Amino acid sequence: MKKKLNVFCVLMLVLKAAQVIIGNVMSFGENAAAFRQGWEDGRQATGMPSFWGGFLEMMIGLAAIFLIIRALIAFVRFILNVNRDRVFVWDNVPLLRWTGWGMLASTAIIFVYDLFNHVSAEKIYNETMDDFIFSVFCLITAEVFVIGLKLKEEQDLTI
């Protein structure tokens, strides 16, 4: 049973890392020339965004990055606990909750940011849906752990 759980956790981690890497590489490769052109056009345009608008965008991006990194660290710590035979302990519940809520909050930030920047609904769906599913899965798993730990404590108290 531990081997299956380890395989699933490592598989999920590898798939998420591959998605992030491939998505960023493809995005940067395709849009590099368009970015330079847009930068030059924007510099020459009269309607430059204000300093505060750019600052707000930067802060939103940093918040999303912080939440993703925090969720990834919590997930790695959960995997390490499982590998140390500490599967059904109360320490894993906050780690799974951090992973779930961190990914959910970063997904919501990205969703709202794209929505206000008039990104197409198809692109928003492609970018955020699997992160949303993963975050909900982590939250469900955390709750299953809570129920299992409560049942374990009740069983330990019975004669």
Residue that is written with structure tokens 């955390």 in the block = 142
- For the stretch 79-118, pLDDT in tens is 999 899 998 899 999 999 999 999 989 989 988 888 877 7
To 5 degrees, how large is the angle CA 11–CA 9–CA 146? 155
Q: How far apart are CA 43 and CA 95, in angstroms?
A: 45
For the segment 139-155, the average pLDDT, to the nearest whole number, is 88
Per DSSP, the residues of 5-31 read HHHHHHHHHHHHHHHHHHHHHHHHHHH
Q: Residue 42's pLDDT band (boundaries 50, 70, 90)?
A: low
Q: What is the pLDDT at residue 89?
A: 94
Q: What is the pLDDT at residue 2?
A: 61
Better-scored residue on pLDDT, 120 or 2? 120
Better-scored residue on pLDDT, 119 or 39? 119
Q: 141 near 96, Cβ under 8 Å? A: yes
Among 141, 126, 22, 33, which Cα is nearest to 88's?
A: 141
Better-scored residue on pLDDT, 121 or 90? 90
Q: Residue 76's pLDDT band (boundaries 50, 70, 90)?
A: very high
Residue that is written with structure tokens 């939250």 in the block = 139
Q: Is the pLDDT of residue 35 over 80?
A: no
Q: How far apart are CA 80 and CA 89, in angstroms?
A: 13
Taking only Cα atoms into account, the Rg of the chain, rounded to an integer number of angstroms, comes to: 20
Q: Is the pLDDT of residue 1 over 50?
A: no
Q: What is the pLDDT at residue 53?
A: 72
**CA 31, 32, 37, 39 torsion: positive or negative?**
positive
For the segment 134-150, the average pLDDT, to the nearest whole number, is 87
Predicted TM-score (pTM) of the model is: 0.68
User: Counting every residue, how long is the chain?
Assistant: 159
Q: Chain-wide mean pLDDT for the chain?
A: 79
To 5 degrees, how large is the angle CA 78–CA 82–CA 85? 145
The percentage of residues in the chain with a pLDDT greater than 90, rounded to a whole number, is: 21
Q: Is the pLDDT of residue 6 over 80?
A: no
